[in-house]
Chains A and B, each alone.
Chain A
């Protein structure tokens, strides 16, 4: 059986969030639980890095990683502004594209 595609995730510190990033992450895990394994970034090996920043300042410190990175920063996906209601769907699409699902 092929190993699942692994995504390392990291949050900013959520000092004054405009987006409920933990909530978004919970929804994402639920939707992708069959196909994707999510691991906390620290001391982990992963295929893709997912950064959740609660606002567009996007101050989450990046770990060293040379693979594909997807960034949610406030209501933006990879720095493209989106309506909040469209964010989850766009994020799912982006992840599936990178993971070739």
Chain B
């Protein structure tokens, strides 16, 4: 029955046996491990929101396949309104977690593969779309969490996949037989992979004929034979073994990313959604990228809401809450946050219906969302650090804060305004320190595509020739025969 609770989701993870490594040691149980539990808690909220009347309008949808109520993270968008609801859902959950909750990557992969398989079948007379619908129905029914697995390690960025010195630098098909295919390679920066149920593999770039073995899309369980996950080092990751010093102890910072190695992994045909159809690789990549870039005004908007609240709180605890320059910086933070949100709402409202019937955000405006996020998060976080003060970077540890002898000094000398405890000030400082530095910033820069990727798309879709004609017309410049004849026609 659809709609797991957060508790049921966590219990379902215990039934899986993914091979996860960190610092050379295999993690025996994902659930309960301090390094991973905050990310599990964040993802669990995507499940619990569906059961809360206060959030249910955003967190659930009606499946166009079955008519049943499902978690929105397993839904194919059926209208512009649903594209908007997606953004609002992301902001809502981000406000609650202050962190990445990972499930949107698989959500976007579902939508991208849905529409691309439809197009493939229409042109090539394949049967991927019906196969995918069967898979999607199962995903909705079981309410599983999917990791969107697109980014290959890529090696020499100047060479196509088939020209790389090591063919495994992009995931590729090494064997096909009657039962299915075997794939080999790795996917990098895999958000939420270790606490997902399955991954959806997609190619990472447009491909040429010689790269057809790299044109592969399929569903793989995270604990399939041959799959290894090497969890990434991230800023302050050892703080997850602390409490107060972690800042956001329940939900962590960023989504928790890993390198997922695929060593000759078998995939049965019913889970294969692209196998050599290289001419559609670019379309799949672009659709996923747009769907994912659409999100950031929602999720980073929600995270920035928390950062803004933290800045206002620490200013008050510091005794500087009424200063006009503080208020002005808070205004700027809110302005930038709502600008990001505006962009995501706009790209959703300008969404279009694809031949498959699924709705898809404006590609141009989706790239605007992400391009702005690559800059504004740095400024929002900079302003927060400005307001908080340098002590966020020099605070003694929580061990010292709680030390029977030393704690008295830490409490005495880090107290702020009367009415607020030193512990309140300490905790808020740690939240700010962890939310505004290191990995959180890099994720905003590169998640869903690096800045240059958006600029390439903006140049492609910005309709520059039309803009040139507008200027020429207003400047009174006749540029061609058609215009001259039209002008001559008007004179007669």
Is A76 at the interface (CB under 8 A from chain B)? no
Instruction: Give B75-108 interface residues, CB cut-off 8 Å to A.
Output: 84-85, 88-89, 91-92, 95
Segment with Cβ contacts to A, from B49-57, B251-259, B464-472 = B49-57
Closest-CB distance, A5 to chain B (whole angstroms): 20
Contacts of B305 in A (CB 8 A): 16
CB-nearest residue of chain B relative to A57? B88
Q: Are A13 and B57 in contact (CB under 8 A)?
A: yes
Is B220 at the interface (CB under 8 A from chain A)? no
Closest-CB distance, A73 to chain B (whole angstroms): 13
> What count of chain B residues pass the 8 Å CB interface test?
16
Contacts of A91 in B (CB 8 A): none
Contacts of B54 in A (CB 8 A): 11, 13-14, 21-22
Instruction: Give B56-88 interface residues, CB cut-off 8 Å to A.
Output: 56-59, 84-85, 88
Instruction: Give B193-213 interface residues, CB cut-off 8 Å to A.
Output: none
Q: How far is the CA of A16 from the CA of B298 in the complex (A)?
A: 10
Q: Are A40 and B57 in contact (CB under 8 A)?
A: no
Name the interface size band of chain A. Answer: 10 to 19
Is A98 at the interface (CB under 8 A from chain B)? no
Q: Are B56 and A11 in contact (CB under 8 A)?
A: yes
Q: How far is the CA of A97 from the CA of B85 in the complex (A)?
A: 34
Contacts of A16 in B (CB 8 A): 88, 91-92, 95, 302, 305
Q: Are B84 and A14 in contact (CB under 8 A)?
A: no
Q: Are B85 and A13 in contact (CB under 8 A)?
A: yes
Instruction: Give A16-42 interface residues, CB cut-off 8 Å to B.
Output: 16, 21-22, 40
Which single member of A13, A22, A59 contacts B59 (CB below 8 Å)? A13
Contacts of A93 in B (CB 8 A): none
Which single member of A13, A40, A61 contacts B55 (CB below 8 Å)? A13
Closest-CB distance, A85 to chain B (whole angstroms): 22
Is A12 at the interface (CB under 8 A from chain B)? yes
CB-nearest residue of chain A relative to B59? A13
Q: How far is the CA of A59 from the CA of B79 in the complex (A)?
A: 14
Q: Are A14 and B91 in contact (CB under 8 A)?
A: no
Q: How far is the CA of A61 from the CA of B85 in the complex (A)?
A: 10
Q: How far is the CA of A60 from the CA of B305 in the complex (A)?
A: 22
Closest-CB distance, A23 to chain B (whole angstroms): 10
Contacts of A13 in B (CB 8 A): 54-59, 85, 88-89, 92
Proximity bits, B31-61, A CB within 8 Å = 1, else 0? 0000000000000000000000111111100
Q: Are B89 and A15 in contact (CB under 8 A)?
A: yes
Q: Are A40 and B53 in contact (CB under 8 A)?
A: yes
Q: How far is the CA of A40 from the CA of B91 in the complex (A)?
A: 24
Q: Are B88 and A15 in contact (CB under 8 A)?
A: yes
CB-nearest residue of chain B relative to A51? B57
Instruction: Give A46-98 interface residues, CB cut-off 8 Å to B.
Output: 59-61
Q: A12-B57, A16-B305 known; 17 other A-B pairs, CB under 8 Å? A: A10-B57, A11-B53, A11-B54, A11-B55, A11-B56, A13-B54, A13-B59, A13-B92, A14-B54, A14-B55, A15-B58, A15-B88, A16-B88, A16-B91, A59-B85, A60-B57, A61-B57
A-side residues, CB < 8 A to B, are 9-16, 21-22, 40, 59-61
B-side residues, CB < 8 A to A, are 53-59, 84-85, 88-89, 91-92, 95, 302, 305
Q: Can you list 22 pairs linking A and B with CB atoms under 8 Å apart?
A: A9-B53, A10-B53, A11-B54, A11-B55, A11-B56, A12-B58, A13-B58, A13-B59, A13-B88, A13-B89, A14-B58, A14-B92, A15-B88, A15-B91, A15-B95, A16-B88, A16-B95, A16-B302, A22-B53, A22-B54, A59-B85, A60-B57
